[in-house]
Amino acid sequence: MTRIVQRPVAVYRWNGMEPEAFRDHDTEYVIVDVLDRWREMGNWWQGEGERLMMRVWTSANDLLDLEGESGEWRIYKIWD
């Protein structure tokens, strides 16, 4: 199962243009492995652009989909 949350995160360590570690509320996550990367187009008719999607495994043993757009990153989906 998955939950879509679209919750902003604070990236505090970068690997080039991608997050390497981030904070969600009081929890810190380090990305252990990037399992997949892809790009999705937003609703272009509403002025939304392309966003980078990443499926990551974290140091907290969580599987998450991250969404990056215009320098802002969010947890898009949490895998149970």
Q: Strand 10-15 relative to strand 2-8: parallel, antiparallel, unpaired?
A: unpaired
| pLDDT tens per residue, range 18-77 | 999 999 999 999 999 999 999 998 788 888 889 999 999 999 999 999 999 888 999 999
pLDDT of residue 43: 81
The single residue listed with the structure tokens 């008719």 is 45
Structure pTM?
A: 0.88
pLDDT of residue 70: 83
pLDDT of residue 19: 95
pLDDT of residue 8: 97
pLDDT of residue 64: 98
Residue 45 CB partners (closer than 8 Å, separation 6+)? none
